[in-house]
Amino acid sequence: MFKNKENGFSKIDFILLILIFCAIGIIYYMLSTENSLSEIVQVNIINNILSHDEVSTNTADEKNEQVVTSVALSNDIISQSAAGSNNVPNPTPSAPALNYFFYNQLGEYEKGMYNRILNNISALKSGHDQIEIATSKENVEFDFQACWDAFCLDRPDIFYVDTKKVSFLTKTTSSVWDGVTNNYIIQPRDGQNYYLDCWTTENEINSATSEVESVANDVISKSANYSNIYEKVKYVHDFIIENCEYDQDKGINDSDIYGNLVKKISVCEGYAKAFKYLLDKLNIPCVIVCGDGIADDGHSEFHAWNYVQMDDGNWYAVDATWDDPIVIGRGTLSEKSKHKYFLVGTNNFSDTHHEDGDVSGTGQNFVYPKLSETNYK
């Protein structure tokens, strides 16, 4: 025989009531929370993203030198840990300031994103690991593009990343308790890896990095035979143009230091990156410059070259690509032709080279060093 309840709810009723309230709370939380993961932007930067036609020009002094040269252009990113912080995850880079010329032009938030990528280069090298950036800030795709552009200009050593394969995603979570939280994610596009197509594993990236470093170490070792900055810069310039050929077929590594230093064939991006990469190792201030190269007929195309700060404190232009033109026939370049665009000032450079600080067309204008009017003496 069942006993009737005498005083209100039984223990079972009380437990059931609690469970009902919990269920309602969970359902409410789920309904009030929106999670979305959508692709915001594919990285668009100077690294095998832009295709450029050749610009022909005749820079030879001798009659038997028929010269064809070209212009084109290219670039490279960073992170800390998966845990983010609001607004600015921003430890200052510890490397010499000369390696962070474009970083120093970013806003504080962009610097934080830059650092977050920098501290997670291992994720890029792995080929597939995500880099997460948690923040309360919304609509950061422009900030990301600016930090990515700066990173690519500052870091030619990240040569194995194919920017066409990099995606920047946003995951937004909102709830009545926590408000809105944005998690931005860098990851390979469409299930691919980050690498250029010539590589598929991290071991291959490590091997390629060792090849690049071996060439660089040999150059740096031999540069010790030269006593002043001018001689060292000239040695690096001459090494690059004597050991690399301009790539007319647009090979897979033609825009990076691996193509220039190891495969010994590249376009102007590879020349400019290799030159900066080697001068960085010599602690000689050098930046990559993007803009237009102007041919003799007035036609212009995207191009890349370098500015170098010399021991007099002034900056001078170096265009190793145009100092290494394609010579048709048996002609040889004179010493003057081989150094026509070596450590020159605006008086001998600005008519044929127009710099552009908006490297990816987003409106982020980087400022390049002011060149000396005259050539280095």
The answer to whether residues 326 and 67 touch, using CB atoms and an 8 Å cutoff, is yes
The answer to whether residues 224 and 202 touch, using CB atoms and an 8 Å cutoff, is no
Distance CA(92)–CA(102), nearest Å, equals 14
| 327 token code pair | 């010579």
Amino acid letter, residue 199: W
**Per-residue model confidence (pLDDT) at position 229:** 97
CB atoms within 10 A of CB 243: 14
Q: Where in the chain is the domain with CATH 3.10.620.30?
A: 202-355
Q: What is the pLDDT of residues 297-314, one digit of tens each?
A: 888 999 999 999 999 999
Distance CA(77)–CA(48), nearest Å, equals 15
Q: What is the pLDDT of residues 25-71, one digit of tens each?
A: 665 555 444 444 554 455 554 443 232 333 333 333 322 232 222 22
Distance CA(47)–CA(32), nearest Å, equals 42
- Tell how strand 342-344 and strand 326-328 pair up: unpaired
Distance CA(366)–CA(241), nearest Å, equals 28
The answer to whether residues 299 and 267 touch, using CB atoms and an 8 Å cutoff, is no
Continuous segment of H or E residues that includes residue 36: strand 34-42
What is the average pLDDT across 62-81?
26
The answer to whether residues 329 and 320 touch, using CB atoms and an 8 Å cutoff, is no
Contacting residues for 213 by C-beta, under 8 A, at least 6 apart: none
Distance CA(368)–CA(374), nearest Å, equals 17
- The per-residue pLDDT of the chain, averaged, comes to 79
Residues in the chain: 377
Specify the pTM.
0.78
CB atoms within 10 A of CB 318: 30
Distance CA(256)–CA(84), nearest Å, equals 31
Q: Is residue 2 very low, low, confident or very high in pLDDT (cuts 50, 70, 90)?
A: very low
Q: What is the largest CA-CA distance in the chain?
A: 120
CATH 3.90.180.10 fits 202-355, yes or no: no
Q: Is residue 162 very low, low, confident or very high in pLDDT (cuts 50, 70, 90)?
A: very high
* End-to-end Cα spacing for the chain: 112
Q: What is the pLDDT of residues 206-258, one digit of tens each?
A: 999 999 999 999 999 999 999 999 999 999 999 999 999 999 888 899 999 99
**Per-residue model confidence (pLDDT) at position 201:** 97
- Tell how strand 265-266 and strand 245-246 pair up: parallel
CA 298 vs. chain centroid, Å, equals 30
What is the average pLDDT across 157-171?
92
**Per-residue model confidence (pLDDT) at position 191:** 84
Contacting residues for 133 by C-beta, under 8 A, at least 6 apart: 79, 84, 89, 113, 116, 140, 183, 184, 185, 186
